[in-house]
Amino acid sequence: MTERRETGPKHRGKPRRNKPRHKQKRKDTSRPADWSEGERIAKYLARCGVASRRECETLIESGKVFVNDERLVSPAFKVTGRETIRVGRKIIRPPEPARLWRYHKPAGLITTTKDPDGRPTIFDELSKSLPRTVTIGRLDLTTEGLLLLTNDGELARALELPANAFTRRYRARAHGQITQAALDTLADGLTVEGVHYKSITATLERTTGTNNWVTVDLVEGKNREVRKALEAVGLKVNRLIRTDYGPFSLGDLKPGAVEEVRPEVLLANFSGMISPDRHPETDRPVRRTSGRTGKPPAASRLGSRRRSTNVKGKGKPKP
């Protein structure tokens, strides 16, 4: 091996020692950040479409988020986007322009990323051409219909907040005896098992024997709210379809199909809820896609029925 030679002036007296390499100081990401710039890490991750802000805070507290290779232990940390940020092994890219999709969720799919019981999820069926998305609210296993998806977690949070009063409309087929007068009592709000629900508007469309079709409008969207509200007046829901969320309708979307909302429509409705640096370009084309296989998912009970749910009265499902 060639001997390394030192260059530069010779030192008299004690022989010169090689300067030790200084180890790079580890950044203490747990200390308070410089709050004069940047934004909270959970908000930033939500805007990147990783998950909702609350879910991102959980990821941080569980030690799965790294900034410049240092593990975060608290959500009280700000980033500018110039850092190297990882969630697990995945490097998080800076936020892209906000996008929104309408998705016709079939019955039989879970609205979650993974299910511990191994049941199929919507993300198992969605096309791989979609970017990382989060859902705006949820639909339970047997509920079908309109589900909004976005790559902007902050937009999702804004659309979910009851304070913003976006109306969710459902069509429910329910078994039992009911009158419009009984349904009108839901407008006063109700409490079921200690949970209070705000005013709900329910309209009886038609009755065939003991089956009823009821249109339900609400703004909270709490867990199983429609089913619990109708059970409180003596009805048992056996089919539930969400047809509207805010200004968007299910229309003629087939089960399993996804259609992106045009950028100009997104801005016209929610420009104040989208960070200026994420405003989309209005001339970008959009398209409609089916599920990963190009067919309605096997879990759907609607795959062979060729029905559509349209709030304008066309193609309503038969009881």
* Residues noted as catalytic: 140
The 10 Å CB-count burial string (b at 16+, else e) for 192-226 is eeeeebeebebebeeeeeeebbbbbebbebeeebb
Q: What is the DSSP letter of 136?
A: E
Q: Other CB atoms closer than 10 Å to residue 22's CB: what's the count?
A: 6
Q: Read off the tokens for 216.
A: 């339900």
Helix (H, G, I), strand (E, B) or coil at 267: helix
| Burial of 95 (C-beta count, 10 Å sphere; 0-12/13-18/19+) | buried
Per-residue 3-state assignment (H helix, E strand, C coil) for 155-175: HHHHHHCHHHCCCEEEEEEEE
State how far the alpha carbon of 215 is from the alpha carbons of 60, 72, 124, 293, 307, in Å. Answer: 41, 47, 30, 33, 18
Tokens for 222, please give them: 């709490």
